[in-house]
Amino acid sequence: MKFSMSPAPFLRRKRTTLAIMLELTIALALVWLASIIYYFTIGTNHGLQAILIGIVSTATMMVVEFLFYLPKCIKDGKEAVSKNSELNCFKETMNAMGYKLSHSFGWVSGLILALLLPVGTPLYVVLVSAVIAILVGKLLFGGFGYNIFNPAIVGRIFAQLCFGTSLAYGVEESASGFTAFTGATVTSQLSNNNWMTTGLDIDLWKLLLGNYQGTLGETFTLLILVIGVVLAIRKVIDWKVPVFYVGTLYLASLISGFCGGYGLGSFEYALIQISVGGIMFGAVFCLTDPVTNPTSPSGKVIFAVGAALFTFVIRYFASAPEGVAYSILLMNMLTPLIDRCIKGFTTKKLLPKWGVIGGIMLASMVLGVSSGFVNHEAYDVEYRKQNEFSSVIKKVEDNVYHIEVQQGEKGQIWSKVEMNVTLDLTNRTVTKIEIISYGANGGFGDALLTGGEIKFNTDGDEYTSFPKEKEPIAMAFYDKYIKLESPLAFDEYLNLYSKGNSLSAWSSEAKNVIRVGATYTAMGFIYGVCEVINYAGGAQ
Amino acid sequence: MDTQKKSKIFLNPLLKENPILVLILGLCPVLGVSETIDKAIGMGMAVILVLFCTNLVISLIRKLVPNEVRIPIYIVIIASFVTMVQMLMNAFTPELAESLGAFIPLITVNCIILGRAEAFASKNSVGDSILDALGNGFGFLIAVFLVAFFREFLATGGWKLSNPFTNSTIFEIRPLADFAIPLFGQNTGAFLTLGIIIGIVTAIRMSSEQRKTLKAKKEVQ
């Protein structure tokens, strides 16, 4: 009698990896479908774009995998033929290829990457990111099961780093119909406002239903939540990772809200924090990737809590508005370390293990507290990074936008401008700029001040006066770009600003326009007008 | 036999034992100056010149140098030639010298140059040392040009070549300027490109070696 021994594992469940991955694919396809329907309701071309992004991303990944595995599969096919000459070489090669492709799950990464990109993304950007994602993120590490990083996140971050400026962030209704525009997603608006929801028109229901700007997949928070629960019940994903990730973020945001002086409103504030941006999508679809997770249950908890901490830190303390992708990559990198630290802890020594988790949770709370205080202070002194302008835009009425621009160092505002800008989108001109207030601490602001042309507030600052006749260049600048006796074309502003948004570059250029060193306030005006033009969809 | 040996000294470092792509020596300047093909060629020429002079001088004095203090002596020789090259470049190709910046003085500490001095020039005749210097220098040039070729294409969508002496453009084509990936002009792109090129070269090398061992086995049988 002949005994045959099959390789381990001997105890098998009926569900194979393939079946689990197919369930995940169906879940992702549902989110994709929802986004396609949503974008079709906005406009046919946007709906088509949503379909195309998904197809291009998935197809690119499959093609790259096909080409990568082709030499090996041909070799396998030839070998099979050399053993049994009745077989067809081409057929055998295709069989081997079919097995490779169906066990590499390139389409899952493809769909996730597509859902992580905004609808305005040019298709060649999708293509290049998909190639980098699958090749550098997965195949070069040895294929499915050997990759250190989540391939889709690699692709997303590559797209962010390379094409950050050309990633149009979504669509919004503007005077000239629905247009794609860059920049002001809810996340970046919040980030510009130091994550304070006051003064911003943010509705929790709107966030939950996905009716706002963002990437293709990340906005449908409620749908993702339901799908996440179903997947967790069917054990496609591990419930611990998303629960601890979102839970830690919620807790940290809650504490941050209390310390920021929100009182009972903190609960809503924290809820907004976790439903905005890619948190939910990242938690359910990206963070749970079993290949890049630690293997032990407690390792998974540490992984999730750590990712939440990184997201929190990046969101609150760094200039990037969206921290989810970076935090996932960082934790992917730490996964082997977590696995090694946790090894041996799983059966005995429960105390140290939970001590580590508790410690991290505690750290998150401390972080929340400190960020609450820091945030509060930050809101008071109103500063962003040095030399960087930030702005908050609100639409007052049709074609009229209210914008607040500020720039400076900690505790010191170098430039602060508040104004209403009226645009004429059909003729692409700025028709009226109504200045509400601006800072004057020497230079251009003062030149305007003593010109007696407009009302001002100086916040009680001391200043040196410049009579109007001594500042003819500044006044000419004012007459041309701000007073606007006749409407001025968008391009005039955009060209002036495109000299570079680093102040030194602009400053040297501005020597010809206004006097040296008087550029902060002037640049604030130009920056503000350009932001409004971008916001309204007037930039081309 | 002798000419075969001599040609091997020159040809081996070009591809088979390329200092960058195979021996992984002196990567720092490759990462630093492979932004454009202009800079890559300038750097390659500078390295060839320095390597030629140092190998020549070191093999000339190889019997005079006491073994205990050979490294300081080599370094002094290398540093003097690098200084000369830097002065020459400042005088005749000021724009190129400026764009290469600190990488010209850093040729002094390039492992290829000290490595060739230590491993070859100090043990071999003047003629062989010159051949070795040229081989390794051109090997470096080939590698850095290869990296720069792909990086400039990916980062700007085309190539530009200019005359370093007059700083006038010889030719410039940018067919894919609209689809440029600026990341490849930065450090990340340098690491990515160099890594992928070294990976491909290693894969080719290993498969050819495998084929050779298979052939040898068959012949034995």
Highest mean pLDDT among A209-213, A396-400, A419-423, B1-5: A419-423
Angle (deg, nearest 10), helices A17-42 and A221-233: 170
Residue A180 pLDDT: 39
User: Measured between beta carbons, which residues in chain A are less than 8 angstroms from residue B188?
Assistant: 161
Residue with tokens 């008087």: A518
Residue A2 pLDDT: 65
Cross-chain Cβ contact B182/A162 below 8 Å: yes
Residue A514 pLDDT: 41
State the smallest CA–CA distance between residue A128 and chain B in angstroms: 9
Measured between alpha carbons, how far is residue B19 from residues A259, A432, B32 in Å? 59, 65, 16
Cross-chain Cβ contact B183/A161 below 8 Å: yes
CB B136 within 8 A of CB B117: no
Helix (H, G, I), strand (E, B) or coil at A502: coil
Total residue length of chain A? 540
| pTM of the shown model | 0.68
State the smallest CA–CA distance between residue B181 and chain A in angstroms: 6
Mutation choice for B interface testing from A121, A162, A165 by most B CBs within 10 A = A162
Cross-chain Cβ contact B188/A161 below 8 Å: yes
Residue A9: cis peptide before it, omega within 30 degrees of 0: yes
Instruction: Over range A116-131, report the average pLDDT.
Output: 88
pLDDT above 50 (res A453): no
Helix (H, G, I), strand (E, B) or coil at A394: strand
Q: Which residue of B has its CA nearest to A160?
A: B183
Q: Which structure tokens are listed for A291? A: 């290949």
State the smallest CA–CA distance between residue B220 and chain A in angstroms: 23
Phi, psi values for residue A425, rounded to 5°: -75, -25
Cα–Cα distance, A369 to A17 (Å, whole number): 43
Instruction: Over range B108-128, report the average pLDDT.
Output: 90
Q: Which residue of B179, B182, B199 is in closest CB contact with A124? A: B179
Note which residues in 174-193 of chain B have CB less than 8 A from chain A.
Answer: 179, 181-183, 188, 192
Please tell me the least confidently modeled range out of A53-62, A192-201, A294-303, A508-517. A508-517
C-alpha R_g of chain A:
27
The 10s digit of each residue's pLDDT in A183-192 is 445 555 555 5
**Domain positions in chain B:** 2-220
Amino acid letter for position A413: I
Q: Identify which has the larger pLDDT, B186 or B194.
A: B194
Beta-bridged to residue B173, according to DSSP, are: B159
pLDDT above 60 (res A441): no
Please tell me the least confidently modeled range out of A77-86, A175-184, B96-105. A175-184
Cross-chain Cβ contact A128/B199 below 8 Å: no
CB A376 within 8 A of CB A260: yes
Please tell me the least confidently modeled range out of A199-208, A261-270, A284-293. A199-208
Cβ-proximal residues to A391 (8 Å cutoff; 6+ apart), any chain: A192, A403, A404, A405, A406, A527, A528, A531
Instruction: Over range A311-338, report the average pLDDT.
Output: 83
User: Measured between beta carbons, which residues in chain A are less than 8 angstroms from residue B181?
Assistant: 128, 162-163
Q: Which residue of A has its CA nearest to B182?
A: A162
Highest mean pLDDT among A168-177, A384-393, B54-63: B54-63
How many contacts, defined by CB atoms under 8 Å, are there between A and B? 11
pLDDT above 70 (res A174): no
Q: Which residue of A136, A140, A162 is in closest CB contact with B181? A: A162
Give the DSSP letter of residue A174.
E
Cβ-proximal residues to A451 (8 Å cutoff; 6+ apart), any chain: A468, A471, A475, A478
B199 touches chain A (CB under 8 A): yes
- Predicted-complex ipTM score: 0.75
- Containing A179, the helix (H) or strand (E) segment is strand A177-180
Note which residues in 163-192 of chain A have CB less than 8 A from chain B.
Answer: 163
